[in-house]
Amino acid sequence: MQCIRRQPTRTKSQESLYRAHIKTIARDNMKLLVLEGDRDLQFLMNGGDLLKVRSESWKKTRYFKLQEDCKTMWHESKKTLKTKQTFSIEDIEEVRTGRQTDSLRKYTEETLEGRAFSILFKGRQKSLDLIASTEEEAKKWVSGLEKVISSLNNLSSQKKTEHWIYSSLRKADKNLDNKMSLKEVKSFLKDINVEVHEDYAEMLFKECDKSNGGFLEGNEIEHFYKILTKREEIDVIYGEYAKTDGLMSANDLLNFLLTEQREEVSQNDALQLIEKYELDENAKAKQQMTQDGFLMYLHQPEGLIFNQAHKSVYHDMNQPLSHYFISSSHNTYLMEDQLKGPSSTEAYIRALLKGCRCVELDCWDGSDGEPVIYHGYTLTSKILFKDVIKAIKEYAFKTSEYPVILSLENHCGVEQQKIMAQHLTSILGSALVTKPLGDQMPTCLPAPEELKGRFIVKGKRLDKLENAFSDESKMADEESVSEEEDDEGDEENNEKKSGSLKLAKELSDIVIYCKSVPFHGLEDSREKHSFYEMASFKEGKALKLAEESATEYIRHNTDKLSRIYPGGMRTDSSNYNPVPMWNAGCQIVALNFQTPCLEMDLNQGLFYQNGRSGYILKPSYLRERDTEFDPITLTKGPWLKRKTLHVMVISAQQLPKVGKRESAIVDPIVKVQVYGVPADTAAVETSYIKNNGFNPMWNENFQLEVCVPDLALVRFLIEDYDSTSDNEFIGQYTLPFNSLRNGYHHVPLLTQDGNLLSSAGLFVHIMVVDTE
């Protein structure tokens, strides 16, 4: 039988010391977050009871409290072996007021609306659905959490590092005496992901122990921190350009910006950077930048690798929809796999918040006359169609104001189709496109700019769009669509349907610009299909067209939309490589957003530009009807803009541990990968650094040739090297080749779920030069 370890009891004097220690830590952290004296924060730190809701029968009271580091929530559990549980505030995606999750809507009464709130986490961690004692308390919990999240997000990279190291130092101080013994220093180094030789640890300790007392305290700990966070590479770069009494004048900084960063700037720009980021008031008064100010600048958006001009909408948004790559999701309702995983409105919310502009709704007849969404013929759970439309309406335009396409997979009978149409029109209201935008029959698809804040339904239609402008024969309330037209009905099911599908006129009439039609070849499509008629392609079919008939397929995609979806064998919701589809001009390349993977990294990287609008204007040679571009053969043409990418991988900072062993230290290795046309696809990698995830340094140079930069993506990947098995993922960052900035830059790192890794980063030097 396993023993349960009890917490050691403290004497009165020890308890008093402990409480004073905790107060000091809490005060310091409140000050760092600029929340000193904030009542909502104090409420969180005092803690209180909340009712935790999991199911109809599982509703239990738990005590929640913000810990003194101001970034960890503690709550008690009644499990014998797990009396305390914590989660980091940095792991919270959103705090949502009211009964807005599937669980709260299903398992609580409407009368609790004002007392309910949910904490939603990044990645696949389950949300916390909570009920406060009063509406006033619920507001305090939500307000307090939102303030802490906002303050943590607004900390500079340098402050985040300080906060993290400071918290680790406190954690290592086991006996709470505000001193660090050699043993505690070694423990601290392991905590921050660096393992040093015994002799080096002792040498470092002795160098800082100026008082020879056998421990570090006060200024000695500060000195230890400075040695630890010293960036030799920054010393070298700064020293090269700081030519004015050991500091950087505005002219020195301008010289750096022109020479190294290759920026088109003036002295006024350099002065603005000094004003913005220099912390030393004396240096600022002299219009100079210290090394601390210089490092601060390198950690800010101006110092990051992604071109800041590309963070806002900079593409022409007035071209037809067919001229854009559109961020698109497949099986959007699923949180996990497509055999038995849960369906949830939360999956739609997450996809939309990531900038997704085309979501899939797999609709089936439900009980009580209400259509449901789930993965047909599987054990995936069901959600109400109307709840999904409500969630889509609320979250559709929070990240991007450009149009959302609702891709209907319609398996419903006529009666519930009418209910679907009713929910769409009543819930979405005037935002739903129910007729062509102009007074006359259009000749091409509308532009994203014209459709801001609007919803477009993709599905089957009983007649031609032209009939909307004709007073000719009125159709019956319902008609049949032949099996041949039912192009997507067996998209996910291998069995072939027979006969015909009856389609309700009400649902048919709101399909305007995205009418689903079968695909019988490029020539047939060219001769018979209108611009508003679009086909869906299984990944294998699309890849074959992209490889064997690339130019013809590209021409097809200049005026018609193509939707690509994963093959039916991907029951684990894995993804296919989207790059060959983009190279062929396919717009709606639908991926499983719920699955963290390389393919989703590429999708996130492509759509991070242009204001995360979810729409990326295709290069001109993918928009011209008479284009000769072929990504496979790469004949001469305007697409060939040969570049050489010079990359120096210099260092990394504060990499997280991987795996479950707390004692394990990572051996980081960096890979630089290019994805694009086949000729450009390449990868290089550094050697690995043993036992150092805190401040590894490589200083390794690489060179990559790129022929078609418009279609290339660059991915920086850091892994924990393992000689006997696969390397483990640490972090990655993907961006368009054309969004790279020259010079010395920090590369932010993302988790497998695409969330920012706080404090961690990669430092590189980039130089892109024309080869021709």
Q: Which fold has domain 643-770?
A: Immunoglobulin-like (2.60.40)
Q: Mean per-residue pLDDT for 463-479?
A: 72
Report the distance separating Cα 29 and Cα 45, nearest Å: 12
Question: Residue 289: helix, strand or coil by DSSP?
Answer: strand
Give the CB-side neighbour count of residue 713, counting CA atoms within 13 A.
26
Q: Which fold has domain 232-303?
A: Recoverin; domain 1 (1.10.238)
Give the CB-side neighbour count of residue 441, counting CA atoms within 13 A.
10
Report the distance separating Cα 449 and Cα 399, nearest Å: 15
Q: Which two tokens stand for residue 320?
A: 């037809």
pLDDT in the model for residue 156: 74
Entry pTM = 0.88
How many degrees, rounded to 5, is the angle at CA 43 between CA 103 and CA 61?
40
Instruction: Assess contact for 451 and 357: CB atoms under 8 A.
Output: no
Report the distance separating Cα 698 and Cα 647, nearest Å: 12
Q: How does DSSP assign 577-633, residue by residue?
A: --HHHHHTT-SEEEE-TTS-SHHHHHHHHHHTSGGG-SEEEPPGGGT-TT----TTT
Q: Decide if 423 is catalytic.
A: no
Query: Nearest Cα to 149, choosing from 170, 131, 172, 122?
Result: 122
pLDDT, one tens digit per residue, over 382-395 is 999 999 999 999 99
Share of the chain above pLDDT 90, in %: 65
Q: Name the least confident of 155-169, 235-249, 633-647.
A: 155-169
pLDDT in the model for residue 531: 96
Predicted confidence band of residue 28 (pLDDT cuts 50, 70, 90): confident
pLDDT in the model for residue 14: 60
Q: Which pairs count as long-range contacts for 385-389, CB under 8 Å and 24+ apart, including other chains?
A: 385/361, 385/419, 385/420, 385/423, 386/423, 386/427, 387/102, 387/105, 387/345, 388/333, 388/345, 388/348, 388/361, 389/423, 389/424, 389/427, 389/428
Q: Which two tokens stand for residue 46?
A: 């005092």
pLDDT in the model for residue 79: 53
Instruction: Assess contact for 125 and 119: CB atoms under 8 A.
Output: no
Q: Name the least confident of 22-26, 28-32, 466-470, 517-521.
A: 22-26
Q: Which two tokens stand for residue 492?
A: 């996910």
Q: Which fold has domain 158-228?
A: Recoverin; domain 1 (1.10.238)
Which residue is catalytic, options 299, 310, 315, 330? 330
pLDDT in the model for residue 210: 86
Share of the chain above pLDDT 70, in %: 91
Please determine, for residue 663, whether its predicted confidence score (pLDDT) is greater than 70: no
Compute the Cα dihedral for 681, 764, 651, 72 and give only its sign: negative
Instruction: Assess contact for 539 and 565: CB atoms under 8 A.
Output: yes
Tally of CB atoms within 10 A around 718: 29
CATH code reported for the domain at 22-154 = 2.30.29.30
Q: How far is CA 57 from CA 60, 99, 360, 562, 626, in A?
A: 9, 17, 32, 46, 64
CATH code reported for the domain at 321-465+479-489+497-622 = 3.20.20.190
Instruction: Assess contact for 383 and 344: CB atoms under 8 A.
Output: yes
The four Cα atoms 560, 566, 567, 571 give a dihedral, to 10 degrees, of: -160
Question: Residue 448: helix, strand or coil by DSSP?
Answer: helix
Which residue is catalytic, options 163, 299, 375, 746? 375
Predicted confidence band of residue 106 (pLDDT cuts 50, 70, 90): confident
Report the distance separating Cα 342 and Cα 340, nearest Å: 7
- Residue with tokens 């477009």, as numbered in its chain: 456
Q: Which two tokens stand for residue 298?
A: 């390198």
Report the distance separating Cα 515 and Cα 445, nearest Å: 12
Report the distance separating Cα 35 and Cα 42, nearest Å: 9
Would the CATH topology of 158-228 be identical to that of 232-303?
Answer: yes
Predicted confidence band of residue 11 (pLDDT cuts 50, 70, 90): low
Please determine, for residue 450, whether its predicted confidence score (pLDDT) is greater than 80: yes
Question: Residue 356: helix, strand or coil by DSSP?
Answer: coil
pLDDT in the model for residue 214: 86
Query: Nearest Cα to 730, choosing from 653, 618, 650, 640?
Result: 653
> Which element (helix H / strand E) includes 236?
helix 232-241
Question: Residue 439: helix, strand or coil by DSSP?
Answer: coil
pLDDT in the model for residue 559: 96
Q: At what angle do helices 385-395 and 414-428 cross, to 10 degrees?
A: 20
Q: Which two tokens stand for residue 326?
A: 């559109």
Q: Are strands 478-482 and 533-538 parallel, antiparallel or unpaired?
A: unpaired
Sequence-separated (6 or more) residues with CB below 8 Å from residue 5? none
Q: How does DSSP assign 369-404, residue by residue?
A: G--EES-TTSS---EEHHHHHHHHHHHTTSS--S-E
Instruction: Assess contact for 719 and 671: CB atoms under 8 A.
Output: yes
φ, ψ (nearest 5 deg) of residue 418: -65, -40
φ, ψ (nearest 5 deg) of residue 68: -65, -15
Q: Are strands 288-289 and 248-249 parallel, antiparallel or unpaired?
A: antiparallel
Q: Name the least confident of 93-97, 482-486, 541-545.
A: 482-486
Query: Nearest Cα to 384, choosing from 41, 123, 52, 106?
Result: 106
- Residue with tokens 């999708």, as numbered in its chain: 603
Cα-to-chain-centroid distance, residue 68: 29
Taking all residues of the chain, what is their mean pLDDT, rounded to a whole number? Answer: 88
- Residue with tokens 């002799």, as numbered in its chain: 199
Amino acid at 277: Y
Amino acid at 300: Q
Instruction: Assess contact for 487 and 536: CB atoms under 8 A.
Output: yes
Question: Residue 274: helix, strand or coil by DSSP?
Answer: helix
Tally of CB atoms within 10 A around 68: 20
Q: Which pairs count as long-range contacts for 42-48, CB under 8 Å and 24+ apart, including other chains?
A: 43/140, 43/141, 43/144, 44/140, 44/141, 44/144, 44/145, 44/148, 45/70, 47/74, 48/132, 48/133, 48/137, 48/141
Please determine, for residue 82, whether its predicted confidence score (pLDDT) is greater than 70: no
The four Cα atoms 292, 293, 297, 300 give a dihedral, to 10 degrees, of: 70
Instruction: Assess contact for 554 and 627: CB atoms under 8 A.
Output: yes
- Residue with tokens 């999991």, as numbered in its chain: 54
Q: Mean per-residue pLDDT for 221-248?
A: 90
Sequence-separated (6 or more) residues with CB below 8 Å from residue 698? 649, 650, 651, 670, 686, 687, 689
Q: Decide if 375 is catalytic.
A: yes
Q: Mean per-residue pLDDT for 562-581?
A: 92
Please determine, for residue 487, whether its predicted confidence score (pLDDT) is greater than 60: no
* Residue burial 408-439, b: 16+ Cβ < 10 Å; e: rest: bbbbbebebbbbbbebbeebbeeebbbebeee
How many degrees, rounded to 5, is the angle at CA 584 between CA 578 and CA 588?
55
Q: Name the least confident of 135-149, 169-183, 447-461.
A: 169-183
Query: Nearest Cα to 674, choosing from 619, 717, 712?
Result: 712
Instruction: Give me the residue spans of the domains in the chain.
Output: 22-154, 158-228, 232-303, 321-465+479-489+497-622, 643-770
